[in-house]
Amino acid sequence: MTILSKSEFEFSLPSDLEAGEPPEARGLRRDQVRLMVSNYSNDRIRHARFYDLPKFLTRGDVLVINTSRTRNSALAAGRADGTPLELHLSTHLTGDLWTVELRSYQPNGKSNHFEDAQQGDVLRLPGEVKATLQGPYLSDCDPNLLRLTETLWLAALNLPSSVDDYLARFGFPIRYNYVKEKWPLSFYQTVYATESGSAEMPSAGRAFTYELLANLESKGILVAPLILHTGVSNLETHEPPYKEYYHVPFKTAQMVNRARAAGGRVIAVGTTVVRTLETVAEAGGKIHSGEGWTCKVITPQYELRSVNALLTGMHEPQATHLAILQSLAGLAHTKLAYTEALNHGYLWHEFGDLHLILP
């Protein structure tokens, strides 16, 4: 496991640039969000709408997408002393064991990470389900650096056999304090999602529509799927990614390898795709198929082997995702692009605008 450093630059994000509602609530289609296109080879920056994406791609380009479906991963929970909490299911490990996060609500309606949980606590969940806290989650990504996470617990849950049916009935999407209202799960789902398993939406792909995908296909732009089931984000602590399940199909590996061999562009749709492809990339850049658990983290000094372009959202200050942008585009270009985004009023987070980074 590579040791992760946070972003090497800081900036202030005005609250009015935090997208607190989906674009549909602002009278826009999904594909009408703004798109900033930046070229790291010459620092060129252009401004468009997401439906203009085909104009910036060429025949033979490969878009690699994460087709993981988002779950209703938040549940109302109660402690034995009556304290109301919210439990976030992060990752299903094995059997009845999950990693979970607990959050408490403040008088202003905002939620914070709950600090007073204790090993052995039994939490009441809807439908006569219980969650028993086994202890703080010990990340085993690096055998030489075992450490307790700051926010996640290991919990045993007596969930019914169909987890997704249970969550569809009793759960709701995870949302953070900048999102003021509760929105149905459909607003947290990409149109191409297939296999259920993510605690939070792989949001870089949210703006795609069926029509736009058909337009890309007609232009000869290839779309290659993979799976990475995302766990819970930690906006307060910016902890590195935890162990997460991935699956890279053989056909996807073929498409990426052929594009690279032909000198084409491999465009990751989201940082989850970058992490997954780098997990299965050999030293020379060749991708192989596979599945398993990845602990891959990327520093600004890391040399990417699998992709040379990235479609991503706008990431908050000090987010670990920014390290991936710097690894691809360099510190100077990342600073330039983010300054441009701030000056032009781009919107941040999963309901915000998008950034296409090309060579």
CATH of the domain at 87: 2.40.10
Burial (CB < 10 A; 0-12, 13-18, 19+), residue 145, is exposed
What's the pLDDT at 141? Answer: 74
pLDDT tens-digit readout, 217-239: 999 999 999 999 999 976 555 56
Q: What is the pTM of this model?
A: 0.94
Round to whole Å and give the CA distance between 152 and 146. 14
User: Both 159 and 199 in a single domain?
Assistant: no
**DSSP H or E segment with residue 108:** none
What is the reported pLDDT for 146?
54
Given this model, what pLDDT does residue 335 score? Answer: 96
Give 170-239 as a DSSP string. H-B----TT--S---GGGG--TT--EEEESS--GGGTT--HHHHHHHHHTT-EEEEEEE------TTT-P
Instruction: Tell me, yes or no, whether 64 and 82 share the same domain.
Output: no
Predicted pLDDT of residue 239: 60
Strands 62-66 and 266-269: what pairing?
parallel
pLDDT at 110: 78
Q: Which domain holds residue 64?
A: 15-70+184-358
Number of domains making up the chain: 2
Contact 212, 31 (CB under 8 A): yes
Q: Are 52 and 33 contained in the same domain?
A: yes
**240 confidence band (pLDDT: 50, 70, 90):** low
Token pair recorded at residue 255: 């498409």
Q: Check whether residue 152 and residue 264 sit in a common domain.
A: no
